Structure formats: structure tokens, C-alpha cells
Structure 1
Amino acid sequence: MPARIESADSLNASAQDGTLIESGWPPISRRHAMVFGLTGIAYLLVVVGILCDTPLVDLDWAIQQFRPYHHWPDLEPFLDVWVVAGQRGPTAIAALLWLAWRSHRTRTLRPLLVMGLALLLLNLTVGSVKIVTGRLGPHYAHYVGSPELFSGGNIFPSGHTANAVVTWGVLAYLAVRGRRVGAVLAAATALSVGLTTVYLGTHWVSDVLAGWAAGLLVLLVLPPAEPLVTAVDTRIARWRRGE
């Protein structure tokens, strides 16, 4: 989200002008490709850092043993509530209700389709890594200094963090007005949700770093996927008209 995601309106305009590449997918700017590549590398470095038991794991344990919630206990009641901003169920329902209203007003399913695609990609990518790594969270860790991998857990990467990036990032991406302000608010929400999970001890620092990267990768896939969304939206509209 820190990077500017290309406007869907400009991509649609490109499609109408016939400037899309022959395969039907819009050309990706060098900046977009660079951000995607750097984010992917950052994600990979975190994964390798955990697998190879690097100093990143030592940082995880240092924060866990510091126990921020013991040092600043007054924050815990508020942050227990705030962390819901990254929880899949409540945020997805609220976002989908808003986008359903937007779809009704604009007479297009694009807002719902974009969010649906984003959540599908999020579930597939984050869910698969959770299953493969099987990492345990700080509250369930067995051995001090261990990365706690392949132990039947599902904590890496942080789903709370990745979901906050994707859900609020998609709302900013779909904003008609105030897109920049929306992007800043979405980034601040995702940042604070990730840090909150570390404060509460529900996630390792590396879980959150990977969650931020995983969520941003999903957002960066959305602009190139606009032709697919448009095609599905058009097909559904024709089906509803009985064509």
C-alpha cells in the first residue's frame, strides 16, 4: 500500500482505446513491476530468515520475552478491540455490505468482484503458506530460540495483518474520491493492526512482516486483473438481461 497502485479507471480507458497488449492484459509500468518484485523479494527473505533460523528468529524471541502488554497494560483493552480491524469476518462483512451498496448505485458488480478476487487470492496465498510452514505462535511456543516451524500451527504469515492490508487497501483502490487519503488511512490501519498483534503476543514480528508483504502482493495483482474483472462483470450483466 505504500506504493501507488495504478488507477483502475486508467486501465479501463486503456482497454477502450485499444492500448492493451495482445493477450488482453494491460501493460505493467516499470514502477509497478519494481514494487511487485521488491515486495516479493522482501517476503522471500522473511521466509528464508525463518527457515534458516537467522537473527530474525532471535528478534522474534526478544520481543516475545519483552512482553509489551506487561510494560504498557493500559493499552490492552483498547488494542483488544482495535485488532478486530484486521479480523477476516467482521471486516469482510462490513466491506462487502458497503461495496454491495456501491454496486447497486453504479449498476455494476465490479466493486464486489474486485473484493471477491482479492479475498480469494489472499486465502489461497496466505492459507497455503500457513499450512506448509505450520508455525506456532508466541503463546504456544515450546523451545526458546526455536522458529517453531512444522509444528501444526497456522500463525505464519499473519492473517490479521494481511487481511487488514487487503480489505482496507481494496476500499482505497475502489474509492471514487479521496483515493490518496484512503490509501494513507488504509496503510496506517494495516500498520497498526500488525503492530497490535505483536503487542498482544499473538504473532511474532516476522509473521507481521510477512503479512504486510503478502497483503501488498495481492493488492499489486489487482490492476493487471482488471480486464478479467470487466469480462466477468460484462458476462454476468448479459446473463441477467437474458442475452
Structure 2
Amino acid sequence: MRTDERLHRTVEHPTRRDLPRMSRTRVWLFGLTLASYVAIVVGVVTTSKLVTLDWQVMLWRPYKQWPQIHAFLDYFVVLGQRGPTAVIVLAWLGWRSWRRHTLHPLLVLGTSLLLLNVTVGAVKYGLGRLGPHYATTVGSSEMFAGGDIFPSGHTANAVVTWGVLAYLATTQRARRLGSVSSALLALGVGATTVYLGTHWVSDVLLGWAAGLLILLALPWFEPAMARTEDLILAGWERWRRSGLMSPVPVAGPSVVVGPRPSEEDESSREPVGAGSLGASVGQASAAQAPVAQAPAAGPQSSAAAQPVGSPAGAAPSGHHTPGRPSAVRNERTPLTPAGSRRPPVERPGRPATPLVHQQGRGRGTQT
């Protein structure tokens, strides 16, 4: 299939009818998740028992309890970093967009990452909580201290990035399998950050809630993504057509375009080379009219004008001397203003009576 046909098919959006919609169940899940999000924030700000749990786990130091898995979890936590996970998922969704002839998967990934950066980043810097390694007072919430640890970015990114694959699944079985896999992966990344001591437990809980809110709210952004896709494809189509319709300059000699001659003019026109040569010869013969119209000296002059071995009155052959332009003659000898280019041929007169015959006749008379 050619690229033009693929681009033409993308305008039709054949998979728009399969997109997830904001059902009543999804609305209820979004409401419960939002309530949990607010409850976690309030519990940390008010230094509730949730903060006490944070300190108990931090002082227990899980990385010292199980040091044998420390090296493995250092690599496993990379699955929650934004850069590596975005590259992996972008490569997969890019191939899928090319196969399905739609930009929808890429737009879903871009929209989810944009919402993640805006919402999680705003809360991080707005609350300013310090992490476990930078805590100053035991039992305090460490809020509004210039930190950027609450909620956990690794956890929220793992929920959103891997959850997008389940969101874009085309079958019910693939959607369920993707949801379970992404949930387990996000739980593992969040627990790993607590094990390594880089986040509080409440950070991870709020990161799970933040990522789930973004996934549940994606259907509300589907109309905006559809309009964006239409604008991108329409702009691409205009650019492609303008590129195909624009004239391409060709370097070369200038050609004068004139009216096309009729068939009668073409039939009466001489071949290229013959007409131009005939015109030049005609002008030369007109300038040297006394020489060209002078009577020939005799039969020898007419014979000298023809090639050797050719019969008298025959047209010259097509051979020409190298370095000189060859004149291609038409079947009819073209006439110029000076007349025909052939020199006049004089007919030889009747041969005179041989001298021997006259002498013989004279002898007979004498005798």
C-alpha cells in the first residue's frame, strides 16, 4: 500500500467507534478515587496517623531488612522513571499507529503525560514535602519545607504509562490482562520506592491515586484529541497537495512558445536544415545573380557539377564532406526567390559532320 493511500485512510478514523467512553461505572470510580486523593492530602497536612505510619516504616529501614534484593530493585524501579518508560511505550504505540492508520494512540499517550506533569508537578511543588532522607523532625509531616516528594512521581508515572496500554486495548480480554499487569507493575514500583527509602508510604498512596485519576479521566479528553487529529491530518494533506501542485523550475535554454502551425503550413514547410540551407543559398545566389545565371561553357560544365559515376541529370547523393553541414533535400526541389538551385543544363547541339567524310566527298568530286 502506498503512503498516499495510508494518509487518505487516516482521515476516515476507522477505529473511533472502539474508543472507551465515560460510562457510569467509570464516573463512580473517578469520584471514589478523587475522594481518596483528598483524604490522603488532608491526612498528611493534619499530621494524622498516616504520618505516624510513614515514620514507623522509615525508621524500620526495609532496605536493611532485605539487603539481598537491593541490587535487583535498583534496576526494577527504572520501570517507573518517566524517560525510559515513555520511550518504550512511544515506540510500541508509534508502530501501532502506523499499522492502524490513526494518530489516536500517540495522542492518548501525549495527553496522559501532559496531565501527569501538570497535576502531579503542581501538587509536588505546592505542598513542598521533604523526603525521608531529608526529614528534620521525627513525627512531623515535613510539609511546606521546599521539597518535591509528595506525591510519588515514579508511582504515578508507572500507573499512567503502563495503564495507557490497557486503555488502548482493542479486545475485552486484552484490556483485562493489561489492567492487571499495569496495576501489579505500579504496585511493585511504589513498594520499591518505599523499600529504598526515597518516598513515604503516603507518597506512594497519593501517587497511585493521581495516576488512576488521569486514566479514568481520559475519555473526557477524547473529543479534544479527535479535533487535534483532524487538524493535524488536514494540515498534512494541505502541505502534501501544495508540494505536489507547486511547479518545479527546470534549468535549460529558454523556449519561445507560439501558436501551433496548421497541417497545410507543416506540409509546405521544408525539413529542418534544408529550408534554412535553401534560404541561405537563395540569398547567396541572389547576391551573385550574374554569376549564377551566366551560360555554362558547355557540356563539360554540367558534367563537372555532378559527382563522378552518376548519370547526367541525377540528383547528388547524400554523402557529404566531413565538417560541412549536410543539406537534406525534399522530393520536390524547393524554390527560392532566386529560382531553382540547379544550374541550367544546355542541351548539346547536333554533332558536326566528320572531317573525313567531307574530305572523302571532296575527293569523289575531283575524280
Give, in whole Å, the separation in 2 of the partners of 1:43 and 1:12. 32
Unmatched segments (≥5 aa) in structure 1: 1-8, 16-25
The count of aligned residue pairs is 224
Paired residues of 1:12 and 1:226 also in contact (CA < 8 A): no
Residues 2-13 of structure 1: pairs in structure 2 closer than 5 A: 12-13=16-17
Unmatched segments (≥5 aa) in structure 2: 1-12, 242-367
1:156 to 150, 157, 163: 150
Which amino acid in the other structure matches residue 142 of structure 1? T
Paired residues of 2:21 and 2:219 also in contact (CA < 8 A): no
Paired residues of 2:18 and 2:170 also in contact (CA < 8 A): no
Residues 85-100 of structure 1: pairs in structure 2 closer than 5 A: 85-100=79-94
Give, in whole Å, the separation in 2 of the partners of 1:194 and 1:225. 27
Which amino acid in the other structure matches residue 78 of structure 2? V
Residues 75-94 of structure 1: pairs in structure 2 closer than 5 A: 75-94=69-88
Give, in whole Å, the separation in 2 of the partners of 1:81 and 1:27. 36
Which residue is equivalent to 1:20? none
Which residue is equivalent to 1:226? 222
Q: Identity across aligned pairs (percent)?
A: 58
Deviation at 1:144, TM superposition (A): 0.6
1:186 to 175, 182, 187: 182
Q: Does 1:239 align with 2:235?
A: yes
RMSD (CA atoms): 1.8
1:101 to 1:28, Cα distance in 2 relative to 1, 3 A: closer
Which amino acid in the other structure matches residue 201 of structure 2? V
Higher mean C-alpha displacement, 193-202 vs 219-228: 219-228
Higher mean C-alpha displacement, 102-111 vs 145-154: 102-111
Deviation at 1:12, TM superposition (A): 3.7
Deviation at 1:235, TM superposition (A): 1.6
Which residue is equivalent to 1:203? 199
Which portions of structure 1, spanning 4 or more consecutive aligned residues, are displaced by more than 6 angstroms? none
Tell me the TM-score normalised to structure 2 length. 0.59
Give, in whole Å, the separation in 2 of the partners of 1:35 and 1:179. 17
Higher mean C-alpha displacement, 100-109 vs 158-167: 100-109
Q: Which has the higher relative contact order, 1 or 2, with Cα contacts under 8 A spaced 6 or more apart?
A: 1
List per-residue Cα deviations over 1:124-182 (Å, max 9, x = no partner). 00000001111111011111111111111100000000000000000111123412111
Between Structure 1 and Structure 2, whose CA radius of gyration is higher?
2
Residues 1-243 of structure 1: pairs in structure 2 closer than 5 A: 12-13=16-17, 28-177=22-171, 178-242=174-238
Tell me the TM-score normalised to structure 1 length. 0.88
Give, in whole Å, the separation in 2 of the partners of 1:31 and 1:102. 28
List per-residue Cα deviations over 1:34-73 (Å, max 9, x = no partner). 1101000000000000100000000000000011111111
Give, in whole Å, the separation in 2 of the partners of 1:14 and 1:185. 22
Which residue is equivalent to 1:21? none
List per-residue Cα deviations over 1:82-117 (Å, max 9, x = no partner). 000100111011111211111122221111100000
1:72 to 1:27, Cα distance in 2 relative to 1, 3 A: closer
Deviation at 1:14, TM superposition (A): 8.5
Give, in whole Å, the separation in 1 of the partners of 2:105 and 2:230. 13
Paired residues of 2:155 and 2:189 also in contact (CA < 8 A): yes
Give, in whole Å, the separation in 1 of the partners of 2:22 and 2:116. 21
1:29 to 1:73, Cα distance in 2 relative to 1, 3 A: same
